[in-house]
Amino acid sequence: MPTTVFTIANQKGGVGKTTTAVNLAAGLAAKKIHTLLIDLDPQASATSAVGIEKQEGKSLYGPLRGEGVAFSMITPTAYEHLALIPSEEDLAAAEIELAQTENYLARLRGVIDPIRNSAGFRVIIIDCPPALGLLSMNSLAAADHLLITLQCEYMALEGLGQILRNVERLKTAGVNPGLELGGVVMTMYDGRTNLSKQVVDEVKRHLPDKIFNTVIPRTVRLSEAPSFGKPIFAYDPDSLGAEAYTSLTNEVIKRFGLKD
Ligand SMILES: Nc1ncnc2c1ncn2[C@@H]1O[C@H](COP(=O)(O)OP(=O)(O)O)[C@@H](O)[C@H]1O
Ligand SMILES: [Mg+2]
């Protein structure tokens, strides 16, 4: 089985990228699908959310500048079938340094290519920083599918055009002709407000075949779990958040044929 690479990118912060990266990765792992989570955000929130301490020299910063290999950055987690390539603050420098390298959009692709297909991971999920800088652009160049998270808030669709234009640019420039918008995940849904429902309806109108049926509710348990270094399935397996991310995981498995 080939490796399927997803990137969760969006220039907005606080829209549920990391929460979705972590809990989708953990959800797939819980279904015995070997998954590698790559934390590409220098803030390292996905790293701590799966209970791993930041460690100097353990991130893709070195490999991106030609020092060391990504393989040696793979760190096991407490969860079966789930491994992590952590982040560290130094990764922020890559945002600037990459611009001075040759092939600066395809660096990440080159760095993770040896892991693709050969390391036994069925899925790689990349969690991006909240900017469309070179790290996010590199993740788009390295991925098969872009997953976008949108907060169920006023102006949710704002900025969507920008990232989709970048996808088109990478495709037509031949950097990653196979890249597709894989899906849109609506997050932080508040069932008590009309606004949440209106936002979901609006996105359904715009992207009917991309929006996932599963909508992630706004719940305190989902926001608490990262501070305990646990995915929602370990923190509170019976919560609404766990239920929602299980349902999203099942949709992702089905949509992308991740189980035979
Ligand atoms: N469904 C949710 N319900 C409640 N809080 C959430 C939910 N999803 C994310 N959060 C919280 O909102 C904040 C931003 O989410 P995060 O996933 O870190 O977004 P991003 O990675 O896009 O910046 C975090 O504090 C996170 O714990
Ligand atoms: Mg994040």
Phi/psi class of residue 159: alpha, beta or left (left: φ > 0; alpha: ψ in -120 to 50)? left
For a substitution probing ligand 1, which of 19, 47, 236 has the most ligand atoms within 8 Å of its CB? 19
Ligand 1, atom 25, lies closest to the CA of 223
Calculate what percentage of the chain has a pLDDT beyond 90: 92
Cβ contact 22:245 at 8 Å: no
Beta strands 180-189 and 123-127, pairing class: unpaired
> How many angstroms separate the alpha carbon of residue 111 from the centre of ligand 2?
22
Give the Cα separation of 237 and 230 in Å (integer).
11
pLDDT attached to residue 1: 82
Q: What is the DSSP letter of 195?
A: H
Q: Is the dihedral of CA 26, 226, 53, 41 positive or negative?
A: positive
Return the CA Rg of the chain.
17
Look up tokens 């920083």; give the residue. Answer: 129
> How many angstroms separate the alpha carbon of residue 260 from the centre of ligand 2?
31
Domains of the chain (ranges; CATH) run 4-255 (3.40.50.300)
pLDDT per position as a tens digit, 92-124: 999 999 999 888 999 999 999 999 978 899 999
Q: What is the DSSP letter of 145?
A: E
Bridge partners (DSSP) listed for residue 180: 145
For a substitution probing ligand 1, which of 139, 223, 235, 246 has the most ligand atoms within 8 Å of its CB? 223
Cβ atoms < 10 Å from Cβ of 92: 17
pLDDT per position as a tens digit, 48-107: 999 999 999 999 999 999 999 999 999 999 999 999 999 999 999 999 999 998 889 999
